[in-house]
């Protein structure tokens, strides 16, 4: 009963149905009433086993369905990502020629000196002293 394949469970269920029918036929030959046959311990045990197999089949079908749906979602997400990527590449390819900047004129000597002066006036950070990793008194 440890199988996780639907075909195996279907075979098990068919075997149990066959065994129940055979046992019922044997008990009818002995002359037992239908009520008595239904209460037969072996038939009850086989029906319980059949219920377990049926519930296992339902669970396997449910998991297969979930797996299939998950695969479909993954494929859709993959296709959407590829579509977005190709659309993004097309948009950037179209936007790049439109965003070209005109060439800047060379800076004159006066502009260069003003830029250098602005940089030299910026406050410089004072070097910080690192504490030595020596022994500390406690």
Domain boundaries, given as residue ranges, for the chain: 6-69
Whether 33 contacts 84, CB under 8 Å: no
DSSP string, the chain: -----HHHHHHHHHHHHHHHHHHHHHHHHTT--HHHHHT-HHHHHHHHHHHHHHHHHHHHHHHHHHHHHHHHHHHHHHHHHHHHHHHHHHHHHHHHHHTPPPPPPPPPHHHHHHHHHHHHHSPPPPPPPPPP------
Note down pLDDT in tens along the chain; length 138 residues.
468 899 999 999 999 999 999 999 999 999 999 999 999 999 999 999 999 999 999 999 999 999 999 999 999 999 999 888 888 777 776 666 655 555 665 555 666 666 666 666 655 565 666 555 555 554
Torsion angle of C-alpha atoms 71, 75, 80, 82, degrees rounded to 10? 140
What's the pLDDT score for residue 92? 73
What's the pLDDT score for residue 90? 74
């Amino acid at each position: 009963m440890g199988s996780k394949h639907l075909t195996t469970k279907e075979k098990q269920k068919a075997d149990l149905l066959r065994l129940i029918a055979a046992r019922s036929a044997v008990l009818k030959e002995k002359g037992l009433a239908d009520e008595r046959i239904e209460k037969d311990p072996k038939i009850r045990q086989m029906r319980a086993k059949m219920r377990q197999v049926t519930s296992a089949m339902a669970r396997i079908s449910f998991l297969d369905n979930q797996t299939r749906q998950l695969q479909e979602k993954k494929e859709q997400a993959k296709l959407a990502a590829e579509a977005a990527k190709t659309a993004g590449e097309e948009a950037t390819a179209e936007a790049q020629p439109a965003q070209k900047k005109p060439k800047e004129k060379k800076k004159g000597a006066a502009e260069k000196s003003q830029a250098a002066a602005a940089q030299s006036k910026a406050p410089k950070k004072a070097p910080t002293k690192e504490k030595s990793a020596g022994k500390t008194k406690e």
